[in-house]
Chains A and B, each alone.
Chain A
Amino acid sequence: MKPNLILHVVAKFLIPLIIVFSLYVQFHGDFGPGGGFQAGVIFSAAFILYALVFGLDAAEKIIPSQWLHMLAALGLVLYAGVGVVTLLLGGNYLDYTVLGATQIAGQHLGILLVELGVGITVGAVMLIIFFAFAGRGRT
């Protein structure tokens, strides 16, 4: 396929903006609309755009599949791990209050970590599914 100059330039301009926006949605989810699910999907959209424009092989060089497999599990483990930590600290499972000095601080830290876990898992799984579908037709 002939490389398309306009697509390449526009994609290179857009991808950093998409990633920054996904991080904003991830970490600003406490204050505005958004959260881990949306941020993960937007983050994966940046890489899907890269794969669509520059080809699947180039995208898999940036994020190898093994990493994605580990990241998908890591997010879930991070979420469940927060619950285990709260258990060990003497609270109920996923009761974030015991994580911080005050209730607000604990809840804040817990929600931040949990949303991060959600974002990592959702983003990785979206990319795994995309690579599995898109890589199917290749020889």
Chain B
Amino acid sequence: MIDTIINITLLAFLATTSVAIVRMTNLFAIVMLFGIFSLLSAGLFVVMDAPDVAFTEAAVGAGISTVLMLATLALTRNSSKTPYTEASPAHRPWLPLIVVAVTGAALVYGTWDIPSFGDPNAPAQTHVARYYIENSIVETGVPNMVTAVLASYRGFDTLGEVAVVYTAGVAVLLLIGGRRPKTAVKLKDKGEQDEA
């Protein structure tokens, strides 16, 4: 009962946040709302008994990516004065609206066949999950099944994930890390003087 109330409240907040994100034009406020969105999702994951996922969502989604987006905002100019005037939309909104409504209705229709949450007979629970539940603590001695699966049974997958994270870091370094060419620095100085 209490779960249902919390779920409905969190989902209502999520919907409100997403509508607010779509309707806003202030990028700073949008970044803040993205953080709130991630935090609400983390709350939902906790209610669904997935604290590991909630942990990651709260740390990465609400924490790091908010900071990174703020850093990006600080690099780019404030959007309040766009250098171009936005053309009035030429198309009519009805066709896209119908497409979205039909697609959404199809997706909702599809959810009717999804097994209910936590159903032990769901296809996802009947293959390897049962083996992990019955054997993971005997074979690895690790009480947290998520860690056992992540680090031991699927160790090779996780190695690949770490390699992906490392590659992302290297790519960022190659693209925007390191020393900047002197001309760019000079141009930046000039721009700041012009502003002053």
Contact = CB atoms under 8 A, between A and B. Distances in A.
A75 B139 contact: no
9 contacts: A42-B59, A76-B166, A107-B140, A107-B142, A121-B162, A126-B64, A128-B177, A129-B172, A139-B192
Interface in A1-44: 25, 29-38, 41-42, 44
A29 B192 CA distance: 48
Contacts of A45: 59, 63-64
Interface in A106-130: 107-108, 110-111, 114-115, 117-118, 121-122, 124-126, 128-130
A136 interface: yes
Nearest to B69: A133
Given A30-B144, A42-B59, A83-B159, 14 more contacts: A29-B144, A29-B147, A45-B64, A52-B67, A75-B162, A94-B155, A107-B142, A110-B152, A111-B140, A122-B165, A129-B169, A130-B71, A133-B172, A139-B192
B: interface residue count bin: 35 or more
Contact of B144 (A33, A41, A75, A132): A33
Interface of A: 25, 29-38, 41-42, 44-45, 48, 52, 69, 72-73, 75-76, 79-80, 83, 93-94, 96, 103-104, 107-108, 110-111, 114-115, 117-118, 121-122, 124-126, 128-137, 139
